[in-house]
Structure 1
Amino acid sequence: MNIRPFLHKDFRMRVDHIGHQQAPVVVIDNFLLDAAQMVEYAATGAHFAPAAALYPGVHAVMPSPYPMFVHFFTRSIIPEAFGLSDRDVVDCRCTFSMVTTRPDKVGVRQLVPHTDFLDPNHIVVLHYLYAKPHGGTAFYRHCATGYEGGAVDQRERYETLLKAELQAHPPTDYIRGDTPIFQQIASYDAVFNRAILYRSTSLHAATIPAEFSYDPDPRSGRLTANTMFFYGDQTSFFGPPRKPV
């Protein structure tokens, strides 16, 4: 990937706090200098394949320089915004992603908000490489429980209630705003070369407009760079200390 490891000269950042839990969302506009070159690489050099997880579309492996740049540029931002000053990145996942699958071809759980991991030390960097009218990303509250993010001790109750609710109110399209089950608490438009950073535990969903084309061309479709950083301590990296023999 031939991109220059520089921030854009018009880089701008703010930190929002959303919902009752005041969860931090970092918004960076004009993120990287060569974002347009990333789109060209995705169109000419990336190898997309159906996503293995619940993502409703395709993924492609991101060349290693990109997550290295992102970590370098956010290594002081993320610990401060998310209260992780005693930790550092010990694992990373990074892909190009494109929504290409229509709502009638996915499972019901792909039509509602989700969490990526239940560990609050996982931080998502979602980099938009497209602009409207392809929609952005929204965050939600589960109406019955008030949950705005997942946690291990909440999982059983949430899953039990949600299963019953989805049977009573089965969705037929990707979520856009409030429903009988979820309330939207924040929404971010897709602006080319904008990045939003949030905890993987936050309930969120892509905003897919009704007129969405499901275009598989990276130059004209809903292309994002999705990076997941796991912030761990020394034990996360090296394992627990060995006991003296």
Structure 2
Amino acid sequence: MQVLNVGNEKNTVVVIDDFLESPEELVAFAKASSFAPWPIAAERKGYPGVRASAPPEHAEQMMSRLDAVVREQFALAPEKKLTIHQETLNLITVPEEELGPLQRAPHFDTSAPGLYAILLYLCDETHGGTGFYQHKSSRYESITPERVEHYLDCCYLEFNKYRRPQKYCFDSDDLFDKVGFVPARFNRVVIYKGNLLHSANILSDKSINSCPMEGRLTANLFVSYE
């Protein structure tokens, strides 16, 4: 396990390698699954790909091992209750020329302070990784309830003023500085707060693929502690 302190805000990102004893079983499950676009895909918003439900026991198995890690590394009070919100298998499938403006920029999952993203890579390092960012004009690296209105106002003005490149987000650009990066690695878990500005970083068209055996397959889990 590695514990990273990312950016000027020193946000915690936990990385655990060789997490599952048999990750190939999850890949086989994905191969047999039916994937469908996310609900707001038609609006060119949200995750730029397709999803399928994870196995029924997946989240419980993950959190039986990770609950103590999250509580310790993020200094959570013992009375905080764990709630599982979403468990999906995901593949990036949207070609760069079809990306909407928000899909080409770093994003945050929520401003709620108690939500955590748990990402399990079921693909290797040739599929890039996860980048973390600082918004240049506000200097924000995480979007809290106190910051969210100002941040969204800034983005509304900036996204209309500066046309973002028609490609997946990777390096720093006119509006965002890249402050951290975790490479993809098969059977690697990455844990971070959902309010961090982040983006999938892909290296080539290889990652834009609907085949679980060949594409950028990940298992995504969101949990909260309240």
TM-score by length of 1: 0.86
Which of 119, 135, 152 is residue 126 of structure 1 equivalent to? 119
Which structure 2 residue ranges, 5 or more long, are not aligned?
A: 41-45
Tell me the residue number matched to 1:61: 53
Tell me the residue number matched to 2:72: 80
Report the 3-state secondary structure (helix = DSSP H, G, I; strand = E; otherwise coil) of the residue aligned with 2:13.
strand
- Superposition RMSD on alpha carbons, in Å? 1.2
Which has the bigger relative contact order, CA under 8 A and spacing at least 6?
2
> In the alignment, is the contact (CA less than 8 A) between 1:17 and 1:25 conserved in 2?
yes
Report the 3-state secondary structure (helix = DSSP H, G, I; strand = E; otherwise coil) of the residue aligned with 1:75.
helix
Tell me the residue number matched to 1:236: none
> In the alignment, is the contact (CA less than 8 A) between 1:91 and 1:231 conserved in 2?
no
State how far apart, in whole Å, the 1-side matches of 2:112 and 2:119 are: 18
Tell me the residue number matched to 2:220: 226
One-letter identity of the residue aligned with 1:76: A
Which of 109, 112, 115 is residue 102 of structure 2 equivalent to? 109
Tell me the residue number matched to 2:15: 27
Per-residue Cα deviation, 1:109-151 (whole angstroms, up to 9, x for no partner): 0110000011121111100000132111000000000000111
Shift of 1:223: 0.3
Per-residue Cα deviation, 1:180-239 (whole angstroms, up to 9, x for no partner): 10000000111000010000000000002244451110011110000001112xxxxxxx
User: Which portions of structure 1, spanning 4 or more consecutive aligned residues, are displaced by more than 2 angstroms?
Assistant: 210-213
Q: Which moved further from structure 2: 159-168 or 15-24?
A: 159-168
> In the alignment, is the contact (CA less than 8 A) between 2:59 and 2:84 conserved in 1?
no
> In the alignment, is the contact (CA less than 8 A) between 1:49 and 1:58 conserved in 2?
yes
Shift of 1:28: 0.3
Tell me the residue number matched to 1:48: 35
Tell me the residue number matched to 1:70: 62
State how far apart, in whole Å, the 1-side matches of 2:8 and 2:217 are: 31
Which of 136, 145, 150 is residue 129 of structure 2 equivalent to? 136
Identity of aligned residues (%): 31
Which structure 1 residue ranges, 5 or more long, are not aligned?
A: 1-12, 233-245
- 1:15 aligns to 2:13 (yes or no): no
Report the 3-state secondary structure (helix = DSSP H, G, I; strand = E; otherwise coil) of the residue aligned with 1:152.
coil
Shift of 1:106: 2.5
Q: Which moved further from structure 2: 164-173 or 116-125?
A: 164-173
State how far apart, in whole Å, the 2-side matches of 1:213 and 1:20 are: 30
TM-score by length of 2: 0.93
> In the alignment, is the contact (CA less than 8 A) between 1:128 and 1:193 conserved in 2?
yes
Rg comparison, structure with higher value? 1
One-letter identity of the residue aligned with 2:23: A
Say how many residue pairs are matched.
219
- 1:99 aligns to 2:92 (yes or no): yes
State how far apart, in whole Å, the 1-side matches of 2:15 and 2:207 are: 26
